[in-house]
Amino acid sequence: MLTAAGALAIALALASCAAPVAVPAPEPSTIVLSTTTPSPEVQQPMPTLATEGYPVELTVTLDHRVRLGDALQVGHDLGLDVVGYEWANGSAAGGNHIGDKSVDDLLSEFHQRHGTEPEVVKLVVSVLVEDPLDPTSYPRFPLLITGATTDFAAPAG
């Protein structure tokens, strides 16, 4: 199984032998997820995900900080293989892999380390791509507008 780090190492090795190639930045798009169904004209489709290929991990950006359970539910509702999350609480930020842990276990571990709950800003998802060295083969995820509330408790001091 080729990891993202392995693919990056191969890509860097190959890049030293090839002429540089400019890759245009993708146009941002959004998909709206909320408790009320948004009108179809504001929804953007999710990318079609491959069913065969090499596994890589990508991040999917959320439109605002949300609770861990809400973030994981968004990923589940979209049929994504969520393997981790990135969080940003004030001036601290980081990322955690999920493994086979429950939301309660993840929250308990985070609270033990940081004295608060994670404010999730991105989901880390595992997807299959045809060519891990070709960024154009990677799906481009839209910004996810979750509609989830953000009533976080104040961080423990």
Q: What is the pLDDT of residue 151?
A: 56
Confirm whether 69 is domain-assigned: yes
Confirm whether 59 is domain-assigned: yes
> pTM for this one?
0.64
| Digit-coded pLDDT (tens) for 42-82 | 345 667 777 888 898 988 888 888 999 999 998 888 888 99
Confirm whether 157 is domain-assigned: no
| Digit-coded pLDDT (tens) for 10-19 | 444 434 443 3
Q: What angle do CA 81, 49, 73 make, to 5 degrees?
A: 35
**Separation in Å, CA 48 to CA 13, 35, 83, 141:** 30, 24, 19, 10
Confirm whether 68 is domain-assigned: yes
Query: Using CA of residue 108, residue 113, residue 115, residue 116, what is the dihedral sign?
Result: negative
Confirm whether 153 is domain-assigned: no
Nearest Cα residue to 89 out of 63, 121, 61? 121
Confirm whether 81 is domain-assigned: yes
Counted domains in the chain: 1
More confident residue, 7 or 122: 122
Confirm whether 82 is domain-assigned: yes
| Digit-coded pLDDT (tens) for 97-156 | 999 999 999 999 999 999 999 999 999 999 888 888 988 888 887 776 666 555 555 444
Q: What is the extent of the structural domain holding 54? A: 4-145
Confirm whether 101 is domain-assigned: yes
